[in-house]
Structure 1
Amino acid sequence: MSVDDTSDTRHDARTEPDPPTRSGPPGTWSGLRPLLLRLHFYAGVFVAPFLVVAALSGLLYVFTPQLDEAVYHDIVHVPDQSTSVPLAEQVDAGMAARPGDDLLAVRPAPTGTDATQVIFEAPDLPASYRRTAFVDPHTAEVTGVLETYGSGQALPIRAWVDNLHRGLHLGDAGRLYSELAASWLWVVALGGVVLWLSKRRRRTLLRPEPGATGRRRVLTWHGATGLWVAVGLVFLSATGLTWSQHAGANITDVRSALSWETPAVSTALPESAMPGPDVGLDRVVAVARDHGVVGEIEVVGPAMPGEAYVVQQVGRQWPSQQDSVAIDPATAQVVETLRFEDYPLMAKLARWGIDAHMGLLFGWVNQLVLVALGTGLLSVIFWGYRMWWLRRPRRDGASAFGRPPERGAWRRVPGTVLAPLVVLLAFVAYFVPLLGVSLLAFWAWDALLGWRARRSKVRQEAGS
């Protein structure tokens, strides 16, 4: 939203604006600031509605783990008992509940009060959905079958809200909204910070100006709050883009080119491996736990002869537990081990970033931070629209818009600054396509308004 602090004496005549802080060659900032301010304004007006939807659905998503626990407690949790049945028997019970379904993976109960998850492929459901039978590890009784979503095994409520936040339940077309919001969020946040810090003010930067009234009061709330949440908003934007369709694909390509992908153990057995009868899930899990793969784990069986079992930790909280091992199904020998500490740094950052974005990495503290960021974003947007409303045209025909950023100010920017800036914008627009397309749309709209204004001026001059 616009943070133009041009004084409007109709709203606040107590103070005069402080002189701008100049930096760089003469004319550089005086040309760039109106351009940045106009961009910040257009993005605030036209992209803010998408950000509101993303923020509201994101705030709802934050609390879905607790909602799922409350609604599905009797399915995912069981009474603790002193004895348990073999894991293979639990899986057989789950498969009996879904005859004909293809087994995908098994998540043994991590504690005595959790149910074992027997996970099946669900080709009749949307992508990333599965069907999961929950089995009491003490009695092998099926407590229920639920549609689950994603690698995190989201339960139905969380899955529904996740798809709402991601794409409004409109498929790939709906995902354009969230990508547009994520593409512009970092631009709006950083642009607002630059504009807020670009003038020396008598008021403090980190809190609203005491005693300010009218639009100036709204501006100080808008700017100070935006400064507090800016880093978090940039983080949410960056991590959100990794899930997007177009920018996300470019990010994946870059990670691949730089060998920053998340590694995985190989399922291929060595040529020296001897065929034989399968040792079974219980033996495989016991061997994996002896090798330090403990806590919440997922077991994926061999897809065909000559492949190994893969047992991987699936914990999403700090400290990260993402170790995995490949185990020979005939000998129960560990043929490959991958520790999270051996991941490339960028793969670790991606794992931490995604889990923090989802509110999982630091538990309830993570959830509270996300609530603060979402609430802060909604507040900044509200104050931005409030400033716009306070400067609307009045009924008497007089404009209440104050001094708008002048057109053509960019011409005062030296070529040594403008040329690299254009190249940088083109580079960013290429890797974040929706940002580039919408930026062109804003430019075309602004150019049309400028053409209309010039045409109107010429007609007025001709009529006089």
Structure 2
Amino acid sequence: MSRSSRDASDLYRSVWRWHFYAGLIAIPFLISLAVTGGLYLFKDEIDQWLNADIVRVEAQSSPTVAPQQQLDAAVAAHPGEAFRYVPPAAPNLASEVDITTADGKQAVYVDPYTGEVTGTTAYRGSVMWIVRSIHSLSYFGETASMIIEIVGGWSILLVLTGLYLWWPRGRRGGVMTVRATPAKRLFWRDLHAVTGLFVAGFILFLAVTGMPWTTVWGSKVNELANGHNFGYPDGVRVNVPLSDERLAEREKTTWSLEQAQLPESTPGGADAQSIGLNGAVRTFDDLGLAPGYAVSLPSDPSGVYTGSIYPDDLSRQRVVHLDQYSGEPLLDMNYADYGPLGKSLEWGINVHMGQQYGLANQLILALACAGIVLLCVSSGVMWWKRRPSGKLGIPPEPKDPRRLRGVLALLAIGGVIFPLVGASMIVMAVVDALVRRFSVRRGVAAV
């Protein structure tokens, strides 16, 4: 074998070895992410179907009951302190009143035409909220959610090394077509390669756009994006006195506004009267907030009424804070006010969630999720058919160990960008070194 051929073979083995390690780490989580993510694409449809008897009402031509009356009915049925009111997004949907009760937070649904309570669920306790928390691993605690950041980085590595291994190098079979039958390992190898080619871009996109939600990298980028009063010039629209309370502490908010501080209301005196929920809803309607917006109620005398909406169409995304006494907007921010970084991040997140382009967005990503599951399953079958009996089947190491160092140097770049991923790569490099040393001592070419 010529030197160039030997070098190419060593490089291929090095890449293949790290592709295998990336698969060991990422594939179990990729299956979970694909299944839960595919379901969450249709969150509204699934939740409304499962809870149709609670969230759906008969649309009527008669006027709706005042928001405060709806809230009072909800609190009467489930005593506690209301902290959020959500007017119905469509004529056939119920209003939602979120209440902190002795038994925890509850989402109480009210028929807006009659003011009667239709039912209740745990606040953010719907099936799709549980699916979402499993998707992010937050269901298993804050530490577990850090794994998603590691998996995202290894998924990027998995795609890049996979594309290198897929590259034809003069071959025709198994590049765009699948050969043999399911009984043969060649079939699964080709199926894995061809499926990987078609879903590679989706994996990269979903991994990168999912990173803003991660614990370490996401929080740092969040700080960068929100470094100057939400990431925008000080005093957008007005020069607002800010409290120490964060918007994200009050309600679910878009990612780029998680660090946003709430403005403060200014009492007009001891006898100052709040505009009340009715006045706040009337003002938000007059300001043109998109249907389905949520109203967060003031938590204290200096608190504000916050109207927020994060719809499928990013151009209609909006957050408005009202002084609870004067009813004047203290801050009115929409997507057009975001900086370039905020806009690009929000667009990526909206597409990631299947929202931005309607049903087409949902269906395309659902097919991509199905492809990711097929990719993972085919890799497992292919590995099972290839591995030596009783061994793990790690791909053979290069004859020249320096090839591994070169690949590791390239991986280190990604490790610097994503610190948790970098730390996991160091651990994996140590494990690989121990495996190779053990193999040499045993006189075995591959484990």
Common fold, TM-score beyond 0.5? Answer: yes
Aligned to 2:339: 344
CA contact (8 A) 2:67 2:278 kept: yes
CA RMSD, aligned part only? 3.6
2:213 aligns to what SS in structure 1? coil
Q: Distance in 2 between matches of 1:298 and 1:322?
A: 12
- The answer to whether 1:293 aligns with 2:289 is yes
Q: Distance in 2 between matches of 1:227 and 1:273?
A: 67
Percent identity of the aligned residues?
27
Aligned to 1:183: 153
CA contact (8 A) 2:34 2:373 kept: yes
Aligned to 2:252: none
Specify whether residues 276 and 50 from structure 1 end up closer, same or farther in structure 2 by C-alpha distance, changes over 3 A only: same
Normalising by structure 2, we get a TM-score of 0.80
2:256 aligns to what SS in structure 1? coil
For residue 343 of structure 1, report the CA deviation from its aligned partner.
1.2
AA aligned to 1:352 is: W
2:295 aligns to what SS in structure 1? strand
Aligned to 2:130: 160
Aligned to 1:406: 398
Q: Distance in 2 between matches of 1:112 and 1:178?
A: 39
Query: Among residues 44, 63, 67, which one is paired with 2:23 in the alignment?
Result: 44
Alignment of 1:35-434 (within 5 A): 35-81=14-60, 82-99=62-79, 101-121=80-100, 130-149=105-124, 156-167=126-137, 169-197=139-167, 199-203=169-173, 205=175, 207-209=176-178, 214-257=184-227, 259=231, 262-263=256-257, 266-269=262-265, 276-315=272-311, 317-393=312-388, 404-411=396-403, 421=410, 424-428=413-417, 431-433=418-420
Aligned to 1:443: 429
For residue 158 of structure 1, report the CA deviation from its aligned partner.
1.0
CA contact (8 A) 1:298 1:314 kept: no
CA contact (8 A) 1:31 1:411 kept: yes
For residue 27 of structure 1, report the CA deviation from its aligned partner.
8.9
Aligned to 1:3: none
Specify whether residues 200 and 251 from structure 1 end up closer, same or farther in structure 2 by C-alpha distance, changes over 3 A only: farther
Q: Which has the larger radius of gyration?
A: 1
Q: Distance in 1 between matches of 2:20 and 2:102?
A: 45
Q: Distance in 2 between matches of 1:308 and 1:61?
A: 32
Q: Distance in 2 between matches of 1:32 and 1:368?
A: 38
CA contact (8 A) 1:34 1:409 kept: no
Q: Distance in 1 between matches of 2:78 and 2:138?
A: 30
- Could you tell me which runs of 5 or more consecutive residues in structure 2 were left unpaired when the two chains were aligned: 233-254
1:262 aligns to what SS in structure 2? helix
For residue 425 of structure 1, report the CA deviation from its aligned partner.
4.4
Question: Which shifted more, 244-253 or 343-352?
Answer: 244-253
1:93-129 residue CA offsets vs partner (Å, 9 max, x unmatched): 1121222x2221111123321111111246865xxxx
AA aligned to 2:177 is: P
1:449 aligns to what SS in structure 2? helix
2:398 aligns to what SS in structure 1? coil
1:85 aligns to what SS in structure 2? coil
CA contact (8 A) 1:28 1:412 kept: no
Q: Distance in 1 between matches of 2:355 and 2:388?
A: 47
Aligned to 1:13: none
CA contact (8 A) 1:37 1:405 kept: no
Q: Distance in 1 between matches of 2:395 and 2:412?
A: 30
2:123 aligns to what SS in structure 1? strand
AA aligned to 1:452 is: F
1:140-199 residue CA offsets vs partner (Å, 9 max, x unmatched): 1111121132xxxxx511122222323284323443554443332222112212322373
Q: Distance in 2 between matches of 1:73 and 1:181?
A: 36
Specify whether residues 309 and 60 from structure 1 end up closer, same or farther in structure 2 by C-alpha distance, changes over 3 A only: closer
Specify whether residues 409 and 202 from structure 1 end up closer, same or farther in structure 2 by C-alpha distance, changes over 3 A only: farther
1:278-309 residue CA offsets vs partner (Å, 9 max, x unmatched): 22222222222222223221112333334432
For residue 332 of structure 1, report the CA deviation from its aligned partner.
2.6
1:357-398 residue CA offsets vs partner (Å, 9 max, x unmatched): 333333432332222122111211222223222323269xxx
Aligned to 1:4: none
